[in-house]
Chain A
């Protein structure tokens, strides 16, 4: 069973977001870049399936050189090889552009399953997985917390929690799955794993290598344009509810919620 895992590099969730001079981008100076947390679940699940069914795990990332680091992390966890799609013309691409380039890099590989994250914790879009599945003309099962692959590897069941219920989606392979928290507990890269990762193949590809036309990518080809980034509406610290006893405080809070905030 050959598995592809898409890896997006995102700012660490601790990051305080600061908006740049242009009002459209974030200041990247002090950012620590990490693998999107949802992609860690994808890597882990792929490794477990490989342990069971054999085959290879290939990780694919698109972005600048720094993305190599996140791909190496996945290799250190146990993935077999990596592909970095890196081309200056890709900078500023939107989800459709990103998915188109990923599809071009993946389409000629031999795969049964693809994992992506259910959303990037940066732009919170959750679009690339679906678009990639569309461009490869394969089905998708999104926001998945459990995957049960049939013994013959030809089909699977994926558990998808939605509001108030969990759907069990049955699909033939190849299929693209987007990973949600709960799928598994990702392993840490071991020291020997890290050493081994240094020697694993990590190929870098440009748009030309993929036979793609640079004018169809990047800022100029966006279908969704960023007009402006703004800080969230400021929330000020509010009232501290006073009272001598817990009962008094509770009484006062109930009154405030009822009469002042009018939410109850």
Chain B
């Protein structure tokens, strides 16, 4: 019978990404309630020395799949290797982070294995020995709880920033094992021809702990200067409403909402955003929402934990000054 919790760790350039520690921690909690073990799969090229930290967060075992052809992620290669490892180890549950890579990998892998896959989950529990996953749908306008039938493993991706990360404990060590797998070059139909780094050094909105977001109230692209300054002081990433993106003030990748990014930061500060249903859908799982808007009737105030009714061009710079004092 299928046993244990698998997690697929994500590394980029040899560095394990934060969401991987979040899912190891969550996997540890699930495995404890099942009385089973956590196995982390670490896949890449020359990455074995990174395996130990996964143990500090709660993995019992780390399977290292090391091959030069696995240095950068491609769907073909990773799915093929991981499908083989899953079949050989027969875990009951397999979790990935709902990052760009995790979602791509999990969706293809679940089809190859023919198992159910719950995307971008915000909560897991074990009921009667099986996984139950909770996920927002309609970009957060509703939540659904799902269970699995004929799925071994029961697969899910977990939204970044949501699952609590354990304190790393260096006294906890994992057994590190070199995984054996085959990789048929004929199966590799895609390759990464180029990697272009974003100009901004900011954390992606989907992984950001704090977001300062601006809408049509910013009046134009220049308006975002004051948001960037505030964001720099408090360590936030900058987002936008669709109106601002469609006006060409900000890139598409900055759009928050039902047809943009769905975000879950600790702090979401909405400036000059009215709070249309599609926008609210994308940020309603933020822990604390702040709205700055000169219209006291703006719908955003219905969802905001703190509201400031005033001109954002006065409030935002003043706020930046305040934080300069305390941070």
A residues engaging B (CB < 8 A)?
11, 13-17, 19, 26, 37-38, 94-96, 99, 121-127, 129-131, 133-135, 138-143, 145, 157, 160-172, 175, 180-182, 222-232, 235, 237-241, 246-247, 249-251, 253-254, 256-258, 261, 263-264
Contacts and interface: CB of A to CB of B under 8 A. Distances in A.
Contact of A249 (B114, B251, B308): B308
B114 A96 contact: yes
A139 B189 contact: yes
A232 to B, nearest CB: 6
Contact of B305 (A140, A164, A239): A239
Nearest to B255: A181
Contact of A126 (B119, B255, B303): B119
Contacts of B99: 162-163
A169 B288 contact: no
B147 A227 contact: yes
Closest 7 CB pairs of A and B: A250-B318, A223-B116, A182-B252, A224-B116, A130-B107, A163-B204, A131-B111
Contacts of A250: 308, 315, 318-319, 321-322
Contacts of B322: 250-251, 253-254
Interface in B104-132: 104, 107-108, 110-112, 114-120, 132
Contact of A168 (B150, B194, B207, B314): B194
Contact of B118 (A17, A143, A175, A224): A224
B149 A226 contact: no
B212 to A, nearest CB: 12
B120 A124 contact: yes
B261 to A, nearest CB: 10
A202 B230 CA distance: 54
A17 B193 CA distance: 42
Given A134-B111, A168-B194, A226-B146, A254 B303 contact: no
Contacts of B178: none
B14 interface: no
B111 A96 contact: yes
A123 to B, nearest CB: 5
B309 interface: yes
Contacts of A140: 75, 104, 108
Nearest to B292: A253
A212 B280 CA distance: 41
Nearest to B100: A162
A14 B190 CA distance: 38
A166 B198 contact: yes
B223 interface: no
A254 B144 contact: no
20 contacts: A126-B119, A127-B117, A162-B99, A163-B204, A168-B194, A169-B74, A170-B190, A223-B114, A223-B150, A224-B116, A232-B140, A235-B284, A235-B305, A237-B302, A240-B296, A253-B306, A254-B322, A254-B326, A258-B326, A264-B234
